[in-house]
Structure 1
Amino acid sequence: MASFDDDMRLAHVLADAVERFTLDSFRSDDLQVEFKEDGSMATRADRHTEELLRHQLGRTRPRDVVQGEELPTTGHGNRRWILDPIDGTVNYVRGVPVWATLIGLVVDDVPVVGLVAAPALNRRWWAGSGSGAWTGRSLSRASRIHVSDTSRVEHASLSYAELNSWLDHPRREGFLRLAGRCWRTRAYGDFWSHVLVAEGAVDMAVEPALAIHDMAALAPIVTEAGGRFSDLDGTDGPFGSSGVSSNGVLHDGMLSLLNDGLDTVDDAAELA
């Protein structure tokens, strides 16, 4: 099996390179906020953070593809860095410390490295293929993490995206059915839900609408921690339009509850 230790070290270097800027901009009085064409929020810090990451990658991995949330994809080849400069922008703008820089590496369409750096929480989570999943402040100050062993939905803790994202969704009833069966539900949202699954604090997490830059770093962390990451249709990996993570044991039952009833004519037409 190929080793991605050098890429993992580079991901930490990238996170180090932007951390001071993102922290200095967080809660600053001159934070400039704008809305993109899709209605999502962005700040000057989002764009500048991605520019800093791309600059570092251009120096250290000039032949690699770089894909991010804010700027066009560059490069050609089988190695693709996928960046979300600030995941949780609304939290960032409102002064909530739950936001992170997400750095993922996909090689031959397989997620092999993922790093989530949340400096306002003084935490990072990371994983490389075959190297396990870890959390801590740095590579030298880390603890290995593993998903929970919860085996029944009735005993499980579920985290989800904001409730409004489910109100008009074809799987609304499935989501309510799943949430009603769980022991505990909380809307931690964004990266936070999925890294909590990886470290066993939460058993399942689901978000109905995500992009590749939201998920590329998360998938290897969850899977290397012993869990499973898929979309709502059950296709493993971060390449769908939704994100579902679990401890693995609960995954099929979770998907079954979410998708129950989608074979009706109305639901099929809505999904088309």
Structure 2
Amino acid sequence: MPLSSEFLGRALGVAHAASDSAERVIHARYQARDFSVDAKADATPVTEADREAETAIKDVLRAAFPTHAFLGEEHGREGDGEFLWLIDPIDGTKAFVRGYPMFSTQIALMHEGELVLGVSAAGEFGERAWAVRGGGAFVGRNAHEGKSVRVSGEVEFGPRAAVSTGNLKSMAAQPRRWEALGGLVKRVGRIRGYGDFLHYHLLARGSIDLVIESDLNILDIAALVVIVREAGGVFTTLDGGPVGLEISDALAGNTSLHAEALALFNS
């Protein structure tokens, strides 16, 4: 069943409220440095702030949408149905633990397999990005101060092109793709590794032109997919596949440079 703009607008307001609730939890823990650090099965860190923030998010979402399902970084899958909220309460827990503000809360809504809403809230960094399907993308200090954004118009890999990379460990084990990345580095004007939420925010507002990542999961990027697409960009896997629950790598950019990079990585 098609989603109305009224429903998406309401859902966006609830997602912003859920982000606000999570940010209050995260801010208190972050500023006080009041948390212990445990290791998950994959050796990545988790803190009380991660768990508490996810609970705070779900409390807000569940009050508004009691029949919706959830997939959270810390507490896994809850429920089934046509609506699935995807939640990463602190994307960038390593940064949170080390005391630098390059982490965010990621909340997205998937409807019958399609990502239709995303909020990427980086409260300690001082920035939030959001979008709903068909409504454009916005970046600002908070939900009330956003400005409409668009990806860049850069058309070729040359001295003006800027590319950001992240989580490249698995790509380094793939000689063909690693060689392709090396060739790309030689052609562009600037290579950076902004990582996590930041390079997608920069991409959406036209400050960089392409993002290349491996070693990720859907909760890391679900909200950012909607934001980049609504800013006029393209977001796929590195082999050009669609974004789904099993995604493990990403290629995002404006139309021209995404197409050129896709050809390089898959030639």
TM over 0.5: yes
User: In the alignment, which residue of structure 2 is the partner of 1:216?
Assistant: 222
Question: Per-residue CA shift, 1:145-184, capped at 9, x if unaligned?
Answer: 0000000111310001145454324522222222222110
1:241 to 223, 238, 248: 248
1:32 matched to 2:39: no
On the 8 A contact 1:178/1:258 being kept in 2, the answer is no
1:88 to 83, 88, 92: 92
Q: Which 10-residue stretch deviates more, 235-244 or 30-39? A: 235-244
Change (3 A) 1:219 1:238: farther
1:177 matched to 2:183: yes
User: In the alignment, which residue of structure 2 is the partner of 1:115?
Assistant: 119
Q: Matched residues in 2 for 1:45 and 1:195: separation?
A: 24
1:132 matched to 2:136: yes
Q: Which ranges in structure 2 are unaligned for 5 or more consecutive residues?
A: none
Question: Per-residue CA shift, 1:218-266, capped at 9, x if unaligned?
Answer: 1110000000000011013354211111012211111122233xxxxxx
After superposition, the CA RMSD in angstroms is: 1.5
On the 8 A contact 1:124/1:135 being kept in 2, the answer is yes
Q: CA deviation at 1:189?
A: 0.7
Change (3 A) 1:238 1:247: farther
- Using the aligned pairs only, state the percent identity: 36
User: In the alignment, which residue of structure 1 is the partner of 2:162?
Assistant: 157
Q: How many pairs were matched up?
A: 260
Q: Which 10-residue stretch deviates more, 224-233 or 177-186? A: 177-186
Letter in 1 for 2:261: M
Using the size of structure 2 for normalisation, the TM-score is 0.92
Using the size of structure 1 for normalisation, the TM-score is 0.91
SS of residue paired to 1:201: coil
User: In the alignment, which residue of structure 2 is the partner of 1:189?
Assistant: 195
Q: Which runs of 4+ in 1 moved over 6 A?
A: none
Letter in 2 for 1:227: G
